[in-house]
Structure 1
Amino acid sequence: MYCFFPHYVYSWFAVFVGVILSTACSEKESFEQPSLGYRTVAILEVDGFQFKDLNQNGQLDVYEDWRLDSEQRSKDLLSKMSLEQKAGFMMINSLSMLGSRKAAASDGKYMASDLEEGQVTEDPSAQGNRQNFIGGMNAVTSTSQMVRQFNNRHFILRANEGARIIAEWNNKLQELCENEPLGIPAIITSNPRNHITSNASVGTALDATVFTAWPGELGLSATRDLGLIREFADYSRQEWHAAGIRKGYMYMADLATEPRWSRVNGTFGEDPEWVAQIITEIVLGFQGKKLNDESIALTMKHFPGGGSGRNGQDSHFEWGKEQVFPGGRFYDNMLPFRAAIDAGTSAIMPYYSMPVGTEFEEVGYAFNKGVLTGLLRGELGFKGIVNTDTGPITRMAWGVEELSIAERYKKAIEAGSNIISGVSDPSDLIAVVKDGQLDMEYIDQSVFLLLREKFDLGLFENPYADPDYADQLVGSERFKEKSTLALRKSIVLLRNEEQALPLKANTKVYFETFKAPGRGERSAQQTVLIENEAGYELEFVATPEEAEVAILWMVPSSSLFNSTGDPISLSLSKASINVERVNQISQALPTLLVVDYTNPWVINEVYDDANKGNVRGVLATFGTTPKALLDVLTGKFNPQGKLPFSTPISDEAVENNLEDVPGYLEGAGYALFHYKEGLSY
């Protein structure tokens, strides 16, 4: 082992002597020179090894010495940082690249991977004039200002661009940071990018990216295949790493106990024990057994579970701020988070919600000391980073609305929050410390945790990505082979009357998809599949009148940001599905109903056990492809999926459900389809 002076006696002389003694004490130890990524800093040669001179002082500082552990390096760098640097380090906000659309509008002046500055923001007064996309000078925070003035080093990437563009953008950002005092690299965080989902929203997930497309989280759960889920996490890790994204705002360890919650699709279902097993595989697949230079650090969310909002409302909004536990099952939510902590999750994100009717203070979880310090750190033993959700200081300050911004910072940080999301400018936090309202010890504890993560990830040695490698790896065929299997395994066969499935060869099939409008879309879409590019032994026809069998694939939507506070219905007609058209077809010929379940939809308008009509089969999807679905329908793939939650039999059953109780415990008469239900041929 190394021989070191205690941290408290470090001085420039002690550091110098310590390096000499370290070398003498470690003559029999061997180190492997890591690959160093740099653009402008000098390289120091010490003991036959190379080190980056990040603070450009011509000597090897403790934090620059990759032979030392992350705790030693973090403490040394912490001692060199000013209050302004520390406060900026505790902020995380969205950061934009220029983007392909704006780059195209610049007539070649800019590249899509350019760091977005104020001059490239669209001027609302110039809408309709493409020449003004670049010319509009809106007052926005530029990348340079965030890095140089605000000392930000944590950023959220929400843009949906190609892997090469993301890698090039990362490199420009890292070079900007490298040229700043102390040379602290940036870390880029993203929401999930590897899933097919019908209700993706900015701030929750992205859909249809260049990253390999797997089923939605509910679909992964429906596979009942923990090994495949681990492979999903590992393959996704490799893609993210190649592009330079080193941290995820994911995954949701919340339980889907309230069927109306608009974020059910981001969960792994309603069973806490099964979700806990999945979370273990997710963490180990993305992070490994411990954080290292190949890891993607995860931020598990939303502690202590956000799935039981009153009447299914979401706490992004004032009308959904209350989280209730009428079934007395608050602590069921701990199982998946215990699993995440045991597996080593790097960070945990509390939700905006405020608990009602528990032993905890009725304030949002980011401000809730009993929950964050007492429960999370005390009872569960979590030692990582607590990352607030985006906006609790300035917008979703539930339970502390009457406090000033300064008082909110004080309460959140003293409660246990380490990094504040949704803010770039740290001046308010700096003022809180300078005014003596907040002890500097809280700041140092937080910055230490944030620094340690960066050192563990190897970002101080090499934060740069290889755009060529990213372009080659992301979405490659070897990843698609496994994702293709998962897309098929995620499909659940729920009913198969009169052995209607698999479809017989040469059957004349009418295949129509009903897709509800997503965020930003104005109307529903109905499309008819008539091409047979995959060579199925079926004849696809253009009208129901020509068909022997109809396949009707319904894709409802429950976009989070469409909420108005009105009572939530899970009926298909309320989710923009043309129920009249579905029934018209199903009454005319044998029909296979396929429902894409982002929520546990109520389908009694088109299917009722007492009045099945010509419906011969019912299947559930959770984000998959037409080809995967047809492989199941034709018997090329024998269905294996199992429902990750129960689906209510009626809206009345939904209204009477207990928000914190999983469907399989709601009692007789609640479910049409039951948790873990699923048939095979």
Structure 2
Amino acid sequence: MSNDATTTTVDTRYRDSSLSVDQRVDILLSQMTLAEKAGLFFQTMIAMGDGGELSEGDPAFGVASNREYVVERGMTHFNLLGVAPSAAHIARWHNKLQELAASTRLGIPVTISTDPRHGFSENPGAAILAGPFSQWPEPLGLAATHDPALVEEFADIARREYTAVGIRVALHPQIDLATEPRWARQLQTFGEDADLAGELGAAYVRGFQGPTFGPGSVSTMTKHFPGGGPQKDGEDPHFDYGREQVYPGGQFELHLKPFEAVFAAGGRQIMPYYGMPVGTEYEEVGFGFNKGVLTGLLRERFGFDGIVCTDWGLITDQAIMGAEFAARAWGVEHLTPAERMIKVLEAGADQFGGEDDPSMLIALVESGEIGEDRLDESARRLLREKFLLGLFENPYVDVAVADAIVGSDAHRQAGEIAQRASIAVLQNRATDAGAPALPFARGAKLYVEGIDAEVAARYGEVVDSPADADIAVLRLQAPFEVRDSMFENFFHSGSLDFPADVIAHVAEVAASVPTVVDVFLDRPAILAPIVDAAHAVVANWGASAAALLDVLTGEFAARGRLPFDIPRSMAAVEASRPDVPFDTEDPLFRFGHGLSL
């Protein structure tokens, strides 16, 4: 079909909602040019302009202007970049972007996606700060509640907040199993247990997609098929030293179990991971290129007919945040971008994540290297999703109500309650006075580190020295190794041992006053030295200082339970098998551990 359709009369019956979705897809697809089809296949980052205006692009992130993407390149799927000062800002920009899309020949509406936005993470490679959205524990914290109803409540609230600003695809949940304690991406998972991950993943999908998938839904893109947890040495495949997924315990099938639960719940989309399987029956190439995995396993065995979008940047090796890395096309680094594109499509994927050059795909079809019928197969899936989401009927949102919905008092209160419910008390031994350290009485003299003094002052008298305190509360981050670039250091990797100076400091404080140590456990740190020194040890996965202090003072009952084992030593971690859950020898604390106060 010619790319020049300027003189063709458009058959607008695809806008007739009385027709079936399949009929509407057929009518629209039959009159799309090759360029218009190709534009569907690319999902990349997009920027907002100041004040909710259209953006001229963001050179720092290699992002083109809104007009170039939508009008000149014909793209209609975007992952929203950055944090806005208000929901109204996002909603206003979204409507202007939809107006821009409506000005094109066929007026195909834009679909906006996002990485998680409701937590505490500061890793732009995995999640975005909450900004105007209600703030909840990270998924590991949701897992620490062991409560599917709470997870579904979160997802339902997130759905309402997303749809209020025009976000219609969640690039989550992440249901990889956290079976390698060193792996950097555990914070966005539901932990180490396959049954719990499946149960919570299904609840998450139900909350986001709603009872019936349609105009009020957010489509979920579950990741990372077929399970991204078994990383060799726990290194992440964003980087060349983390390319291999290994299965020395023969547990490939176990990592599929949470996906089966999500499929049963109606999950609509899938993202395969960067990693390449080593020592399995599958080709040793990244999962986005892997036909045995995407077609043989996902499409044929599980019967999945939804959208498959690759992880970001498999085709053109784009730099990340200004840092140069080797290709993330593991196992096929030697292929040209065009050859990689062919392999992705032959594998069974529908979209190229993080890519923005439809001209390459057009050229492959024009040269006969890819048949247009192959494009039509994926285009049907992509268009069907837009129709089912109701974007052709009404792609716009109500700017006037966005701020009232997003981050409303009720939503924020629900998030605050969830933060408190996720906090796990791991140890609570007696002080010299003979009583357990927790709960401590309001009004006590408090020495705090990692807590704003104004917040702490609501719970007691803040003092400057442990020697003057009745109790000390120290907040720590689980340890990680510093790597060479800023982007690498967003992915906390390497040893789980606390530095000697941190352990010595905790011991020094605890020698002079009963001490509570709260650790942000984005990975299962080696807590043994902290447990030996401190009177009480607490874990969180995203909780405000007020949420923590409410639990420590007994204002809110301690309910959280570990979503993974806590290893006893790094030697035990290094000896464990990356694909096998609960495989470190003699763990310090077991999955499900959590004390009541």
TM-score under structure 2 normalisation?
0.92
Out of 235, 243, 249, which is 1:321 matched to?
243
1:655 aligns to what?
574
Distance 1:539 1:344, change over 3 A: same
SS in 1 for 2:516: strand
Out of 323, 344, 352, which is 2:266 matched to?
344
Contact 1:146 / 1:425 at 8 angstroms: preserved in 2?
no
Out of 563, 583, 589, which is 1:673 matched to?
589
1:144 aligns to what?
67
Q: CA deviation at 1:668?
A: 4.0
Gap runs ≥5 in structure 1:
1-54, 99-110, 123-137, 514-526
Instruction: Measure, in 2, the Cα distance between the counterparts of 1:540 and 1:566.
Output: 32
| 1:1-150 alignment runs, 5 A limit | 61-98=12-49, 111-117=50-56, 121=59, 141-150=64-73
2:512 aligns to what?
588
1:128 aligns to what?
none
**Is 2:120 aligned against 1:196?**
yes
Contact 2:184 / 2:492 at 8 angstroms: preserved in 1?
no
Q: CA deviation at 1:580?
A: 3.1
Deviation by residue 1:238-276 (Cα, 9 ceiling, x = unmatched): 001001111111110111001111111010100011100
* Comparing 397-406 and 278-287, the one that deviates more: 397-406
Letter in structure 1 aligned against 2:496: L
SS in 2 for 1:390: coil
| 1:398-547 alignment runs, 5 A limit | 398-498=330-430, 499-513=436-450, 529=453, 531-532=455-456, 534=458, 536=459, 538-547=460-469
| 1:596-611 alignment runs, 5 A limit | 596-607=520-531
1:285 aligns to what?
207
Contact 2:446 / 2:456 at 8 angstroms: preserved in 1?
no
Letter in structure 2 aligned against 1:672: L
Distance 1:626 1:566, change over 3 A: closer
**Is 2:564 aligned against 1:645?**
yes
**Over aligned residues, Cα RMSD in angstroms?**
2.2
Give the number of equivalent residue pairs. 572
Distance 1:501 1:140, change over 3 A: closer
Q: CA deviation at 1:85?
A: 0.9
Deviation by residue 1:62-85 (Cα, 9 ceiling, x = unmatched): 311111222221121111111111
Contact 1:313 / 1:565 at 8 angstroms: preserved in 2?
no
Contact 1:258 / 1:308 at 8 angstroms: preserved in 2?
yes
Letter in structure 2 aligned against 1:166: I
Distance 1:564 1:114, change over 3 A: closer
Instruction: Measure, in 2, the Cα distance between the counterparts of 1:266 and 1:74.
Output: 35
Letter in structure 2 aligned against 1:196: F
Deviation by residue 1:562-614 (Cα, 9 ceiling, x = unmatched): 2599981011229xx8333222212222111111100111123433xxxx24x
**Is 2:101 aligned against 1:177?**
yes
Instruction: Measure, in 2, the Cα distance between the counterparts of 1:564 and 1:459.
Output: 35
Letter in structure 2 aligned against 1:659: P
Contact 2:479 / 2:525 at 8 angstroms: preserved in 1?
no
**Is 2:521 aligned against 1:578?**
no
Structure 1 segments of 4+ aligned residues over 6 angstroms from their partners: 55-60, 564-567
Instruction: Measure, in 2, the Cα distance between the counterparts of 1:441 and 1:541.
Output: 72
Distance 1:181 1:565, change over 3 A: closer
Instruction: Measure, in 2, the Cα distance between the counterparts of 1:257 and 1:532.
Output: 36
Deviation by residue 1:140-173 (Cα, 9 ceiling, x = unmatched): 6322121122110001102100211100110110
Q: CA deviation at 1:112?
A: 2.8
Distance 1:228 1:140, change over 3 A: closer
**Is 2:78 aligned against 1:155?**
yes
Q: CA deviation at 1:561?
A: 3.0
Instruction: Measure, in 2, the Cα distance between the counterparts of 1:253 and 1:56.
Output: 48
Out of 600, 603, 628, which is 2:547 matched to?
628
SS in 1 for 2:106: helix
Instruction: Measure, in 1, the Cα distance between the counterparts of 2:28 and 2:442.
Output: 69
Q: CA deviation at 1:212?
A: 0.2
SS in 1 for 2:539: strand
Q: CA deviation at 1:652?
A: 1.1
Gap runs ≥5 in structure 2:
1-5, 318-327, 431-435
Letter in structure 2 aligned against 1:185: P
Contact 1:488 / 1:628 at 8 angstroms: preserved in 2?
yes
Instruction: Measure, in 2, the Cα distance between the counterparts of 1:528 and 1:190.
Output: 31
Distance 1:439 1:557, change over 3 A: farther
* Comparing 559-568 and 596-605, the one that deviates more: 559-568
SS in 1 for 2:506: helix
Contact 1:530 / 1:542 at 8 angstroms: preserved in 2?
no
TM-score under structure 1 normalisation?
0.81
Letter in structure 2 aligned against 1:114: E
Contact 1:155 / 1:189 at 8 angstroms: preserved in 2?
yes
Instruction: Measure, in 2, the Cα distance between the counterparts of 1:183 and 1:398.
Output: 37
Contact 1:531 / 1:540 at 8 angstroms: preserved in 2?
no
| 1:231-310 alignment runs, 5 A limit | 231-310=153-232
Contact 2:271 / 2:311 at 8 angstroms: preserved in 1?
yes
